[in-house]
Amino acid sequence: MRPPRRAAPLPLALGLSLLALLAARGADASVHEYAGGGGFAPRANSFFFHGGSEGLYASDPSSNSSASFIRFDTVVFRRTQESASRHEEMQQKTGLVEAIIVEIQDRDKIGGSYLHSDAICCTPELDKEKSCRVGEVIIRPNPDNPEWPKRIQTFFEGKNEETTMLPRLVSINKTGMYYLYFMFCDPQLKGLKITGRTVWRNPQGYLPGKMAPMMTFYGFMSLAYLALGLLWFIQFVRCWKDILQLHYHITAVIALGMCEMAFWYFEYANFNSTGTRPMGITLWAVTFTAVKKTVSRLLLLVVSMGYGVVLPTLGGITSRVAALGSIYFVASEALELVENLGNINDFSGKTRLFLVLPVAILDATFIIWIFSSLSRTLEKLQLRRSMAKLELYRKFTNSLAVSVLISIAWIGYELYFNATDPLSELWQRAWIIPAFWNVLSYALLAIICILWSPSRNPTGFAYSEDAGEGADEEGLSLVGSAMKGTGDMVNMHIFPEDKRA
């Protein structure tokens, strides 16, 4: 389970949710849409528009159906009326726009760095040296593959304000991270807009390369949750007459985990076959993820407070626990919506930071509250000399502490990974980052299931006020959640509790 992170006010959380819905609207994935009439940004002596970037595997030469490609579909460029009016009707090639596809390892071959120039577009001076052609982006061909980086040119004709790029399919024969830029060098084209779309496909489907392993991972995780749920259900049925309220909460978390993994698997499978995210399935998957994360954290919190063990109810703090859970759900849902319904590679870092911070603060609040509650619960159990329960909570505390330490170490690795790989050159390993949190969450849930497994003697860790103060429990031990007694305590069904609770 991802390390708990602190609390944001409800109006902020609701605002984040609305922002997420707006940011997610109309988003695609391997089909990159340029529907908003995107503009070009200046860089050096050029103007560029980022058309997308994805990890692509090389085409399978043994199969025509396993081709990897980038396809241009009805890409239209529109220049301003002022720009078009500067030319005559009969003129040809009155403006040039280039689509540049470059594999990230060849990025140094774009621009004039090898000519000891900071220019990206060819200048008259460089043209005189026969190094490039004026008006074009400077590209130094890869000696091992002279056709790359790939250049596709589209010209305006006469006084036309629009020009359409011819349909083109670019085959990918080398595995790598590919970037697509639309660029022009003529300052008179300033104000140029682009519409249309490009389609990116891997040999096995439309999933981006860094996401493709996640479909298999979610399939395995679905089976893992199914196995855990089956084992839990068998024990649940065997001891159904002695089930505690806590067992229903654990059952809910297992069920949510099964649904979450199944929805993500089907979402990725549909995405892989169509190239666009199935909005309905994605919304369900995102919602199940947010609900499961919220319920999981609430389960850890109420268990840490000793609910049903030291406290019969949560009393006056119930509303605070519910409020924290509600705010966390809204903030988590907002973040998940934008991350999974936004464009795969064009997600704004500032927007993401704005959504990540509230979730991080809320998680920190959870972890502080959980460990402070565990400390009080352990203290109460020591004072009551409830040794079996104390042993159970010590195991739980140790497991939680280890998971938090592992989480902190992994966050450090994740920060290092992202800092040292700004251009996604390590895209083939990127899937491990989100997969780890799912595995850790599953492991922690499995530990809780083992420690609080349904038992025919459930009162071994149930709350009770029937006992006298300071009773000795040294003859009791808790294995899983079953209680074994010795001597005249064999038939005892409750642990003596201190009435001072």
Residue 287 has pLDDT above 50, yes or no: yes
- Average pLDDT of span 54-63: 81
Split at pLDDT 50, 70, 90, the class of 12 is very low
pLDDT for the residue 132: 82
* pLDDT, tens digit, 9 for 90 and up, residues 148-182: 899 999 999 988 889 999 999 999 989 999 999 99
C-alpha closest to that of 310 among 246, 361, 355, 260 = 246
d(CA 231, CA 168) in angstroms, rounded, equals 54
DSSP summary character for residue 123: P
Query: Tokens in use for 500?
Result: 């001072």
d(CA 252, CA 257) in angstroms, rounded, equals 9
* pLDDT, tens digit, 9 for 90 and up, residues 304-343: 887 666 665 666 788 888 899 999 999 999 888 888 775 4
Query: Tokens in use for 20?
Result: 């997420």
* pLDDT, tens digit, 9 for 90 and up, residues 235-281: 988 888 777 778 888 999 999 999 999 999 999 999 898 888 888 88
pLDDT for the residue 462: 52
pLDDT for the residue 313: 63
Query: Tokens in use for 170?
Result: 């670019």
Residue 149, preceding peptide bond in cis (omega within 30° of 0): yes
- The angle that helices 318-341 and 279-304 make with each other, rounded to 10 degrees, is 150
pTM score, whole prediction? 0.76
pLDDT for the residue 409: 94
Residue 78 has pLDDT above 70, yes or no: yes
d(CA 268, CA 215) in angstroms, rounded, equals 6
